[in-house]
A and B are shown apart, each in its own frame.
Chain A
Amino acid sequence: MTVPILKQRDYLIASIQAALTDADLKHLRDALVAQVGDYRSRGVIVDVTALDVMDSFAVRTLRDLAHMTRLRGAETVIVGIQPEVAFAMTQLGLRLEGVAAALDLEEGLAYLDSRVKRGGMTRQRLEG
């Protein structure tokens, strides 16, 4: 099953609707990395509220996604991780190192706004 990717302002938002297979996850990662370039996006939000399991493969794929989009100029934030899922992930010893996480879509957008604003200011200073 494919995950719809919405474009909103400078951001791409991918809302996972149901359990994903490994192939679906890889496809999502590749699609997002490609579209970040196509739309010159500054941020990516992956909403995982519907995921009831995040195992080592899912975590690794999301981590790779975040690192790859960062190299292409967009910050990724994972939103909607369920408390039980967060608990199982840490018990399993999985870390989303270097990847931002937020409670939900609203928080994720707020996080990206704050990052992008700060980034923008840096660029202005460099230009001036």
Chain B
Amino acid sequence: MPGSETTVVMTPVVRDESTSGLLRELVAHLRQNRTQLREEWARRITEAKLLTAMSPEEVFAEATAVYDNYLEALETGSIEALETYARNLSERIIPRGVETNEVVGIVLLLRDVLARSLFAKYRRDFEQLDHILDAYEPAANRIAITVSVGFVQERERVIRQQQEAIRELSTPVLPVRERLLILPIIGIIDPQRARQLTEQLLRGIRVNRAKVVVMDITGVPAMDATVANHLVQTVEAARLLGATVIVTGLSPEIAQTLVNIGVDLGKMNTVGDMQGGIEEAERLLGYRVAPVVVETAAAAP
């Protein structure tokens, strides 16, 4: 889904010559001490009980990749590669239950580990340390934000996807026999659900070439004017695709609401219960309903 994600506007980091020089020096130092700092970071992650869903080897592998991407971002000032990596990482670890605080936590730990190593290196030269930190801090913060935001965006995307899936599952459009669909609606209908339900039903009618739809609302606890009008719209939209909707399961309360708010029930084809609705549907489709003789005696043990 391009374009749907939260976009974060980063003010471009203006780098003058001295900053670039400092960052070069910084990156050279971090590259030199890569093995030790990486291990230090992984150790701190384990100590802080972050990323517990992952094995120590996995943590170390990811730590290495993040470390290298981190250095690259510091060096080039471009966070694109890191952004891509952060997205991939998030995709991999979200299904394993890694939480936002863990991701933010590990990035901040890396910032701390690297800052400490800078303190150690420059502790005899405070002025130089000051300059180095001036160059390091904005870059490091920018990287921390990039990784955290990448994770949160990915999580939002996953949540949206799940919501969509749940909504679709909550109103199944069931083809019961040729040209007949059943749409049992259970639970509260809000405008958003009504919209989604209508879209799904219309697609179902097209795909199954349905002529009749039995819409059972036994499981709908309450209805107000807005929802009732949505249902009337759904019925009309189905008719535009050549399908007749039979509404079943109107409770006495809902029937009263509909009459009170003046919904034109004359336009709606209503039958008491789902069984009656299906019989009516079969009549419309031209099927003859034959009584079924069940031989219970023979089936009994």
Partners in one complex: yes
Which A residues form the contact surface with B (CB < 8 A)? 78-79, 81, 83-84, 86-87, 89-91, 95-96, 101-103, 107, 111
With A87-B198, A91-B233 as given contacts, are A101 and B206 in contact (CB-CB < 8 Å)? Answer: no
Among B132-140, B158-166, B238-246, which stretch is in contact with chain A? Answer: B238-246
Residue from the list B205, B234, B240, B243 in contact with A89, Cβ < 8 A: B240
Q: Provide the bound-state CA to CA distance between A78 and B239, in Å.
A: 11
| Residue on B nearest A106 in the bound complex, by CB | B209
Identify 6 new A-B residue pairs, CB closer than 8 A, beyond the known A83-B206, A86-B241, A87-B199: A78-B240, A84-B202, A86-B238, A86-B240, A89-B240, A103-B206
Q: Provide the bound-state CA to CA distance between A71 and B202, in Å.
A: 32
Smallest CB separation, A31 vs chain B (Å): 24
Contacting pair B240 A81 (CB below 8 A) = yes
With A96-B240, A101-B242 as given contacts, are A83 and B233 in contact (CB-CB < 8 Å)? Answer: no
For chain B, the bracket of interface size reads 10 to 19
Contacting pair A107 B237 (CB below 8 A) = no
Q: Provide the bound-state CA to CA distance between A84 and B205, in Å.
A: 12
With A103-B206, A103-B209 as given contacts, are A87 and B242 in contact (CB-CB < 8 Å)? Answer: no
Neighbouring A residues of B209 by C-beta, 8 Å: 103, 107
Neighbouring B residues of A90 by C-beta, 8 Å: 198, 233-234, 236-237, 240
Contacting pair A101 B240 (CB below 8 A) = yes
Q: Provide the bound-state CA to CA distance between A22 and B198, in Å.
A: 29
| Residue on A nearest B198 in the bound complex, by CB | A87
Smallest CB separation, A77 vs chain B (Å): 9
Q: Provide the bound-state CA to CA distance between A103 and B240, in Å.
A: 8
Smallest CB separation, B178 vs chain A (Å): 14
Q: Provide the bound-state CA to CA distance between A80 and B236, in Å.
A: 15
Q: Which of B201-230 contact A (CB under 8 A)?
A: 202-203, 205-206, 209
Residue from the list B198, B234, B241 in contact with A81, Cβ < 8 A: B241
Q: Provide the bound-state CA to CA distance between A107 and B179, in Å.
A: 12
Neighbouring A residues of B236 by C-beta, 8 Å: 90, 95
List 11 A–B pairs whose Cβ atoms lie within 8 Å, in order of A's numbering.
A83-B206, A83-B241, A84-B202, A86-B238, A90-B198, A90-B236, A101-B239, A101-B241, A103-B206, A107-B209, A107-B242
Q: Provide the bound-state CA to CA distance between A78 and B236, in Å.
A: 14
Neighbouring B residues of A78 by C-beta, 8 Å: 240
Q: Which of B163-210 contact A (CB under 8 A)?
A: 198-199, 202-203, 205-206, 209
Q: Provide the bound-state CA to CA distance between A7 and B191, in Å.
A: 44
| Residue on A nearest B235 in the bound complex, by CB | A90
* Best-buried of B198, B236, B239, B241 by chain A (most CB within 10 Å): B241
Neighbouring A residues of B203 by C-beta, 8 Å: 83
* Best-buried of A79, A83, A95, A101 by chain B (most CB within 10 Å): A83
Contacting pair A83 B199 (CB below 8 A) = yes
Closest 4 CB pairs of A and B: A83-B202, A102-B242, A86-B240, A90-B233
* Best-buried of A81, A87, A107 by chain B (most CB within 10 Å): A87
Residue from the list A91, A95, A103, A111 in contact with B241, Cβ < 8 A: A103
Neighbouring B residues of A101 by C-beta, 8 Å: 239-242
Smallest CB separation, A87 vs chain B (Å): 6
Smallest CB separation, B198 vs chain A (Å): 6
